[in-house]
Structure formats: C-alpha cells, structure tokens
C-alpha cells in the first residue's frame, strides 16, 4: 500500500543540495524549492531514505519526512494553500 510523504530538506552545500534534489526527483513530485510529495510503498521509503542518507552530511544537513496517510484515502483538502493555489501534480515535473 502506497502512502503519501511530504519530504523537505535543508542542505548546506550546493553540490549535496543538487544531489538531494536529483535523488528526490526520482521518487516524487517537486512542489516547492525544497519540498517533494512522494507516493511510496514501505520498501520505496526505505530505499529513498538510504539514498538520501548516502548524500547528506549528517552533522550539517536535515531532511524531514512527514507521513500524510494512504494514497487511497487522499482528500482534496490534504494540502491547503495561502496565496497561489496548490495543484496536484498529474505529470512529473521537468526542471531544466
């Protein structure tokens, strides 16, 4: 069963920042600068965390993973926005 995870990061060094972004791009949808929404199985979550752990400097960087519940029970009100409206990413985001 897939669950929705909000993954945010604060990375101190530009090279690790790019590597973190590229890693998470493979796992989910880029919502904002350092925020991804990922639909992951338990195995996917373990693999994603392992990949991220290899990239970051554990004494300087931080990654937060917030479990938002199952994909099947997702509500349209799961994410609320102030200002520009939030739109669910139907297609993968391409950054050039």
Distance CA 86, CA 13 (A): 29
| Domain span holding position 25 | 3-70
Residue 11 lies in a domain: yes
Give the count of domains, the chain: 1
Read off the CATH number of the domain in which 53 is found: 3.30.70.240
Residue 39 lies in a domain: yes
**In a structure prediction context, what are the per-residue pLDDT tens digits for the chain, which is 96 residues long?**
899 999 999 999 999 999 999 999 999 999 989 999 999 999 999 999 999 999 999 999 999 999 998 988 776 666 677 767 766 655 444 444
pTM, whole model, 2 decimals?
A: 0.80
Residue 92 lies in a domain: no
């Amino acid at each position: 069963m897939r669950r929705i995870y909000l993954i945010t990061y604060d990375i101190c060094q530009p090279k690790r920042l790019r590597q973190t972004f590229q890693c998470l791009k493979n796992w989910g949808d880029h919502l904002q600068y350092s925020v991804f929404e990922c639909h992951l199985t338990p195995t996917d979550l373990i693999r994603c965390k392992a990949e991220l752990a290899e990239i970051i400097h554990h004494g300087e960087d931080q990654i937060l993973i917030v479990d938002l519940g199952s994909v099947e029970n997702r509500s349209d009100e799961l994410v609320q926005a102030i200002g520009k409206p939030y739109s669910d990413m139907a297609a993968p985001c391409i950054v050039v």
